[in-house]
A and B are shown apart, each in its own frame.
Chain A
Amino acid sequence: MTVLGLVVMVAAARGARLTRRRVASVALPVTAPVAAQVVDAGAR
């Protein structure tokens, strides 16, 4: 589990760096925007 956590953390840090370069969508996993849409739909 901890190794998986490390892998996700490295991906998240890489995604954050890419976000700062305005290309965040390349690095973010597919599930994140989908989950965000689900939560947003729930809020509406």
Chain B
Amino acid sequence: MGILPDLAADFGISEAAAGWLISGYALSVVVGTLGLTAAVTRLPRKKVLIALMVLFILGNLISALAPTYALMMLGRVVAALCHGAFFGIGSVLAADMVAPTKKSGAIAIMFTGLTVANVLGVPFGTLLGQNLGWRATFWAITLIGVIALVGIATLVPQIEHATDQNGGLRGELRAFRSGQVWLSIAVTVLGYGGMFGAFTYIAFTLTEVSGLAASTVPFLLILFGVGLFIGNIVGGKAADRSVDTTLIVLLAALTVVLVFFALTVRSQVATIASLLLLGGFGFATVPGLQMRVMSYASAAPTLASGANIAAFNLGNTLGAWLGGLTITIGLATPRRSGPGPA
């Protein structure tokens, strides 16, 4: 998100077209998650994670070298294909590595890793992009991918998984007979998508609507990440008590935060507060949403877990698309510096 303005300027594309690099990625996650997870349910999970990480490295390498917008998009798509399957299989593997009473905790720890990556990755990626160019950000991601690959190969144990006992792919698909699995996925798409619609264009909003300096964006994204980190921990603990009540309260609170953000976006202080709350309430929903799907598909959770990761990204795509649409048709709050919408 933070390097989107630089990318748009470098490739000579509009803000909405640059936004498609994010929503195109998210859409590819959806396709990749369902297709790849279904294809690898019988394969050893550790080997699958290694193969997926190689694909991720390749995609980011293409993005780092991309001379055109089309090749940039190709790199994003290749990297995205493995994203959902990686987190879907990873969360099930994390649960398999511990005693049955500690499975939720293991899943929460995996998502804590994801939140730390957001806390550090998004702002420092932005900082790197602003100072050394956006390609440096993708080179850094490629390097991190290589480190992650070595980490998986050396540290993740080889665990025999129970998918075969559940009937393989057929057993995994059987979990989708539950209406609650579908409803949980729908909540993920809609609830998370609303937050992401605002977040996709956050760099533009902060600088061109709220009037904050571009140099402050990485630090404001750290603030968003702090909210996200706290939200994940608090949301996970609350979901352990009652998943449904937690999700209802959090989604209601997130709605209030989004309305507050829209109404006070001209105020820099209120915008900073909104950013913290947006990260906090937005990501507090994630452990509960993932736990809800996996609990209703407990007999064969791999594909359902992956499908929920796909649902997060489908929500991202729809949210970013709707956000871009409001910019295109002029419904968004006007820029400070010019007549066009932001």
Contacts and interface: CB of A to CB of B under 8 A. Distances in A.
Nearest to A36: B177
Kindly state the interface size class of chain B when it binds its partner.
35 or more
B194 interface: yes
A9 B255 contact: no
B174 interface: yes
B176 to A, nearest CB: 4
Interface string B300-342: 0000000000000001001100100000000000000000000
A1 B314 CA distance: 12
Contact of B190 (A4, A24, A36): A4
Given A28-B179, A39-B177, A9 B194 contact: no
Interface in A1-44: 1-6, 8-13, 15-16, 19, 24, 28-29, 31-33, 35-36, 39-40, 42-44
A9 B187 contact: yes
Contact of B252 (A4, A6, A31, A39): A6
A29 B183 contact: yes
A3 B254 CA distance: 9
A36 to B, nearest CB: 4
Contacts of B194: 1-3, 5
B184 interface: yes
Nearest to A10: B248
Contact of B173 (A9, A15, A29, A42): A42
B197 interface: yes
Contacts of B183: 8, 11-12, 15, 28-29, 32
A8 B186 contact: yes
Contacts of B178: 36
Nearest to A40: B177
A9 B190 CA distance: 10
Nearest to A11: B183
Given A5-B193, A6-B251, A40-B176, 5 more contacts: A6-B255, A9-B247, A12-B180, A13-B245, A35-B176
28 contacts: A1-B318, A1-B319, A1-B322, A3-B255, A5-B186, A5-B187, A5-B189, A6-B191, A6-B252, A8-B183, A8-B186, A8-B187, A9-B187, A9-B191, A12-B180, A12-B183, A13-B244, A15-B179, A16-B244, A32-B183, A36-B176, A36-B179, A40-B173, A40-B174, A40-B177, A43-B170, A43-B173, A43-B174
Interface of A: 1-6, 8-13, 15-16, 19, 24, 28-29, 31-33, 35-36, 39-40, 42-44
